[in-house]
Amino acid sequence: MSFLNVIRRRLMFLILVLFGVTVITFTISNLIPGDPARMIAGDRATPEIVQNIREDLGLDKPLPVQYLRYLEGVVQGDFGNSIRTRRPVLEDLRIFFPATLELALTALFFATALGIPLGVASAVWKDKPIDHFVRVIAVTGISTPAFWLGLLVILLFYGNLGWLPSGGRIDPSLEMPTRVTGFLMIDSLLAGDFQAFGSALKHILLPAFTLGFVHLGVVARQVRAAMLEELQQDYIRTAKANGLSRFKVVFTEALPNAMIPSITVLGLALGDLLYGAVLTETVFAWPGMGAYVVNSIQALDFPAVMGFTVVVSLAYVLINLAVDLIYMAVDPRIREVS
Partner 1 sequence: MKNSHWFQVVGAAAVTVGMAVNAPLAMADGDADLLVVAKASDPQTLDPAQTMDNNDWTVTYPLYQRLVAYDVSEDGKGLTSVVGELASDWSASDDGTVWTFDLASGNAFSDGAAVDAAAVEYSFNRLMALGRGPSEAFPGGMKVEATGDMQVTFTLEQPFAPFLYTLANNGAGIVNPAVEGKGDDHGTEWLSANSAGSGAYMLTGWERGQSLVLEPNPNYGGATPEIEKIRVDIIAEAAARRLKLEAGDVHIAESLPVDQLDALGSTDGVEVQNYPSLKVTYLYLNNKVAPLDNVDVRRAISAAVDYQGIIDGILDGNGVQMHGPIPEGMWGQNKNATQYSYDLASAKKALDVAGGASEEISFLYSDRDPLWEPIAIATQAYLSQLGLNVKLEKLANATMRERFDTGEFGIATGNWSPDFADPYMFTNYWFDSKRHGLAGNRSWYSNDKVDGLLQQAVVSSDTAERTALYGELQEIVTDEAAYVYLFQKDYRIAVRDDVEGFVFNPMLEDIFNFGGMSLSD
Instruction: List residues near partner 1 by CB under 8 A.
Output: 32-35, 38-49, 52-53, 81, 84-87, 92, 95-96, 99, 147, 150-151, 154-155, 158-159, 162, 164-173, 176, 194-195, 197-199, 201-202, 281-288, 291-292, 295, 298-300
Give me the least distance between CB of 150 and partner 1, in Å please: 8
> Which residues have a Cβ under 8 Å from the Cβ of 13 and sit 6 or more positions away?
317
Identify which of residues 196 and 227 has a Cβ nearer to partner 1 in the complex: 196
Identify which of residues 39 and 330 has a Cβ nearer to partner 1 in the complex: 39
Identify which of residues 230 and 301 has a Cβ nearer to partner 1 in the complex: 301
Give me the least distance between CB of 196 and partner 1, in Å please: 8
Give me the least distance between CB of 61 and partner 1, in Å please: 19
Give me the least distance between CB of 149 and partner 1, in Å please: 13
Which DSSP helix (H) or strand (E) runs through 95? helix 89-124
End-to-end CA distance of the chain: 10
User: Which residue, 255, 254, 262, is CA-closest to 216?
Assistant: 262
- Tell me the CA distances in angstroms from 301 to 81, 115, 139, 172, 214, one per residue in order: 9, 39, 38, 28, 31
Give me the least distance between CB of 234 and partner 1, in Å please: 34
Identify which of residues 51 and 338 has a Cβ nearer to partner 1 in the complex: 51
Identify which of residues 262 and 296 has a Cβ nearer to partner 1 in the complex: 296
CA 334 to chain centre: 26
Give me the least distance between CB of 319 and partner 1, in Å please: 24
User: Which residue, 208, 204, 199, 158, is CA-closest to 175?
Assistant: 199
Residue 168 DSSP symbol: S
**Residue 283 near residue 146 (C-beta atoms within 8 A):** yes
Identify which of residues 25 and 222 has a Cβ nearer to partner 1 in the complex: 25
Phi-psi region of 182 (alpha: psi -120 to 50; beta: other; left: phi over 0): left
